[in-house]
Amino acid sequence: MTDLAEPAEQVVVRVGLAERAYDIVIGSGLVEQAGALIAERLPGVRAAIVTDRNVAGRHLSRLKSGLDKAGIDNVAIELEPGEKTKSFDALRGVVDAVLAARLERGDIVIALGGGVIGDLAGFASAIVRRGMRLVQMPTSLLAQVDSSVGGKTGINSAHGKNLVGAFHQPSLVLSDTDVLDTLPEREFRAGYAEVAKYGLIDRPQFFDWLEKNWREVFAGGAARTEAIAESCRAKAEVVARDERETGDRALLNLGHTFGHALEAATGYDGGRLVHGEGVAIGMALAHRFSARMNLASPDDAERVEAHLKAVGLPWRISDIEGELPGADGLLDYIRQDKKVSRGALTFILTRGVGQAFVARDVPASEVRSFLAEQIER
């Protein structure tokens, strides 16, 4: 971890994936500077910008004028906002539009938006001409610290979320910290759950720092830049160790098995629970369950719960409004989660803050009785 006491205004994180290494640039004013930064690193390219109508209204004209100034020929493809856009139909629409613009393999798709746009546009760039170059410009905190790093792209299927996709690394990621000021507070806070996650996985000093500095991260400026940069470093390290998710990368799912089950149990109703909130509750549950299994001290579970509570995130099942299924129902959702490998229950558990590990063959009966307790909290 770099020295967090003196955070920098603009930070470049290098993701070291051998011949597919790339830079993540994090800082202020990057929407305007994108044209110049792209022209410098990827000379001569043409661009297709994929975005949604909400993001387009706020940022597209500034991005386009920067590209124009840098002499980068560009077209924009605007989609409907929302998770429904991660579909086969939208994928086909983007692929056709990129081909219609006669872009070649060396040209770029720019994904300007949150996780939905990044996943969809990233997948389209992975399959047009068997792989074009991709520039991620994530506009939500969640996308800046999670989905834009690591090369996972994809769409949903009737059989589940993210079941169709590709591993496709970007050539460049530009994370403009200013655009986060246009986000609703709740969305920023939900994204923060993933920031805290990196501390909990294997960076205890980062978690300490967040406990002290989270107000500054929420306020913006240098602390926010540094929190995003440290999150990207954390994710990039795990991805570099395990690009195609055969081992360690599973650690990034800390909080996600419980979280996904809760998202599914609320019917993916964002009014009740958004992804980051599910992860927050999931992380608290993973620490509490680890304590119950005598793997970690209950003090660590308390500490995690206290921090989530302090920043205003939900941390227990009863924080979710409305009806929920009982322990058996939640367990069924866990079983259906795609991370279930050959019938065994795999969880990310912990030995304490910053000491997460992959636990395979967790007994379903233990999970069930734990959930029955937790529903009552």
Give the residue numbers marked as catalytic: 130, 152, 194, 235, 245, 249, 253, 256, 260, 275
Contacting a copy of itself within 230-249 (CB under 8 A): 244
What are the C-alpha distances in Å from 27 to residues 49, 110, 123, 236? 20, 18, 26, 18
Closer to a copy of itself by CB, 271 or 343: give it.
343
* Binder of a copy of itself out of 42, 127, 295, 327 (CB under 8 A): 127
Q: How near is the Cβ of 92 to a copy of itself at its closest, in Å?
A: 5
Q: Is 260 in the site for a copy of itself (CB under 8 A)?
A: no
Token readout for 174 is 């530009």
100 binds a copy of itself (CB under 8 A): yes
Look up residue 99 and give its amino acid. Answer: L
Shortest distance, position 273 Cβ to a copy of itself, whole Å: 25
Residue length, the chain?
377
Which residues, 6 or more positions from 252, have their beta carbon under 8 angstroms from its beta carbon? 150, 197, 201, 235, 238
Residue 377 interacts with a copy of itself (CB under 8 A): yes or no: no
355 binds a copy of itself (CB under 8 A): no
Give CA–CA dist 155/100, Å, rounded: 22
What are the tokens at 286?
Answer: 């993973």
Q: Do residues 173 and 149 make contact, with C-beta atoms less than 8 angstroms apart? A: yes
Residue with structure tokens 């620490």?
Answer: 287
Is residue 364 close enough to count as binding a copy of itself by CB under 8 A?
no
Is position 71 an interface residue for a copy of itself (rule: CB under 8 A)?
no
Task: Please identify which residue in 40, 73, 104, 299 interacts with a copy of itself, judged by CB under 8 A.
Answer: 104
User: Are residues 171 and 22 in contact, defined by beta-carbon separation less than 8 angstroms?
Assistant: yes
Mind giving me the DSSP string for 309-337?
A: HHHT---SGGGS-S----HHHHHHHHHHS
Q: Does 39 bind a copy of itself (CB under 8 A)?
A: no
164 is an interface residue for a copy of itself by CB under 8 A:
yes
Cβ 150 to a copy of itself shortest distance, Å? 12
Q: How far apart are CA 304 and CA 370, in angstroms?
A: 18
Window contacting a copy of itself (CB under 8 A); options: 9-17, 65-73, 287-295, 334-342:
334-342
Q: Which parts of 171-190 interact with a copy of itself (CB under 8 A)? A: none
Name the residues that contact a copy of itself, by CB under 8 A.
88, 92, 95-96, 99-100, 104, 106, 123, 126-131, 152, 154, 157-160, 163-167, 244, 338, 341-342
